[in-house]
Amino acid sequence: MITALFKLLDLLLGLYVWALILSAVFSMLSTFGVLDTRNRIVYSIGEFLYRITEPVLRPIRRFLPSFGNIDISPIIIIALIEIVARPLLARLYGAIVYGVWQPLVF
């Protein structure tokens, strides 16, 4: 039961990374006019990606300096997920299931 929960959490983190990547690509394609956001399906996909990624990206954008039109906040969030969240989740799983707590030093 606990293994399934941790696998689900890891899967959700992986899906969120892909949502961040898709949102960045979608934003670039719509900015350059490759995607027509007047199309209902395209607009719905863009709105969905915006709604699930913007609450996490907005606080990061507030603290970042302006780089012009380049938005590096998705890269920072992906790095945080891959460097901090996933290893922490794996160590927490090891501590609960195997009783072995590894220090958080990388």
Ordered by start, the domain boundaries in the chain are 2-97
The number of beta carbons lying within 10 Å of the beta carbon of residue 2 is 9
Q: How many Å apart are CA 31 and CA 47, to the nearest integer? A: 14
Q: Each residue of 55-89: pLDDT tens digit?
A: 999 999 999 887 888 889 999 999 999 999 999 99
Q: How many Å apart are CA 44 and CA 87, to the nearest integer? A: 34
Interval 21-42 mean pLDDT = 93
Q: What pTM value is reported for the model?
A: 0.87
CB 81 within 8 A of CB 13: yes
Q: How confident is the model at residue 102 (pLDDT cuts 50, 70, 90)?
A: low
